[in-house]
A and B are shown apart, each in its own frame.
Chain A
Amino acid sequence: KAGVTQTPRYLIKTRGQQVTLSCSPISGHRSVSWYQQTPGQGLQFLFEYFSETQRNKGNFPGRFSGRQFSNSRSEMNVSTLELGDSALYLCASSLSDSTYEQYFGPGTRLTVT
C-alpha cells in the first residue's frame, strides 16, 4: 500500500507570492491533517479535513487555507507569503476522525526569500 505523498517536495518562493501544496493520503484514509514544522516552534497543527469538510483549525492567520476533494486528496494554500512562513509542511492521514494513528508524508520544504 502506498504511503502519504506530498508534492512538491521543495519549493522556493518570494515574499508576497502565494503557494499551493498538495497531499495524497493513503488509499482508504478519509482524514487529512496539515502541520507546520519549524526549528523554533516545533510541529504546529494547521487544520484537519474529513470528508471534504474542515473539522478543526489551528491558530494560524487567514492567509493559510485548505480544502479536501472527494477522493480525499487535500491542498493547502498560503497567500501573501512572509519570510516566517519558511518551514516544513507535513500532511498526515488517518482512516477516520476516530482513528488515533496518523501516517505522515515526507513533507514539502518551503523557503520564502
Chain B
Amino acid sequence: GQNIDQPTEMTATEGAIVQINCTYQTSGFNGLFWYQQHAGEAPTFLSYNVLDGLEEKGRFSSFLSRSKGYSYLLLKELQMKDSASYLCAVRDLDSSYKLIFGSGTRLLVRP
C-alpha cells in the first residue's frame, strides 16, 4: 500500500530554522516532491529528490533517505511569509508515476 506521514502543525519563530519531516511507504518509489501552499492558493513546487542526499535551493533544502523512507524540508532564516502548508508527495512507479500526497504540515511563523 501507500502511506505518507507528516506532522499536522508546527510553529516556529521568525529568523529561526525549522525542519518538516515526511515518512513514506510505497511499493515503487520514483521521487519525492515538496510543495508549498498558502491558504486559499494553489500549491507551488519547492523541490524534488530522487537520489539520497541533500538538495539546497536558497533558504530551502530537502533531504532524502530512500532506505529509511524518509525526507525532510529545512527552512532557514524563517520569514513571516513562510507561514503556509507544506505538502510532501511521492511519485509511485507502480502507479505509473501517480503522485501521492501527504496531508500537509501547517507551519505558523511567529514574530
Contacts and interface: CB of A to CB of B under 8 A. Distances in A.
10 contacts: A43-B87, A48-B98, A56-B95, A102-B45, A102-B99, A103-B45, A104-B42, A104-B44, A105-B42, A106-B42
Given A42-B104, A48-B98, 13 more contacts: A42-B101, A45-B101, A56-B96, A58-B98, A97-B97, A100-B91, A101-B45, A102-B45, A103-B45, A104-B35, A104-B42, A104-B44, A106-B42
B103 interface: yes
Interface of A: 4, 33, 35, 41-45, 48, 55-56, 58, 90, 97-98, 100-107
Contacts, number: 48
Nearest to B99: A45
Contacts of B33: 100
A90 B45 contact: no
B102 A100 contact: no
Contacts of B45: 101-103
A78 B99 CA distance: 21
Interface in B6-45: 31, 33, 35, 41-45
Nearest to A99: B97
4 smallest A-B Cβ distances: which pairs? A104-B42, A43-B101, A42-B103, A56-B98
Contacts of A107: 42
A22 to B, nearest CB: 15
Nearest to B91: A100
